[in-house]
Amino acid sequence: MSNSAEQTNDGIVSTNSGRESIKHFRIVCKYLLAISSSLISDGPGSVTLNDTGPITTVVGSHVAVLCTADYNPPCDMKWRDDQCVEYTEELLTLPDIQPDQQGRYTSVARNDRSEVERSTELDIIVNCK
């Protein structure tokens, strides 16, 4: 049985030897696995806020806090207050804040593919003018 091999322009070696074909297949599989591992769901890693608080403000003020996380692919980001009200954006925006909005806010990043969820908390204190 002859073992002839031929290399193409894209670097793939074609051979009629079964043993060489298996070896080549393993190399290609390892290469594809290395590429695909960078696309596999990852994170969220740490969840960070642009203001770690606590935030002390007065009635009628505008409060905005951005929550970010390391993730691939994009995660669902949301906020939740201690009264179970949900805010579905990365940016928590509380215009014209009132005393009943005072409390603990939790920023949550969730990756549905990896089913990983991370969170961090922020206290907001509202004082009278």
Whether residue 53 is contained in a domain is answered as yes
Task: Match 């298996």 to its residue by tokens.
Answer: 22
pLDDT of residue 37: 43
For residue 12, give its domain range. Answer: 5-37
- Amino acid, single-letter form, for residue 37: S
User: In total, how many domains does the chain have?
Assistant: 2
Same domain, 83 and 121: yes
Same domain, 24 and 60: no
Structure tokens at 77: 């980001």
Same domain, 99 and 68: yes
Q: How far apart are CA 62 and CA 101, in angstroms?
A: 12
**pTM as predicted:** 0.63
What confidence tens digit (pLDDT) does each residue in 63-115 have? Answer: 999 988 877 667 788 999 998 899 988 899 999 999 999 999 999 888 877 77
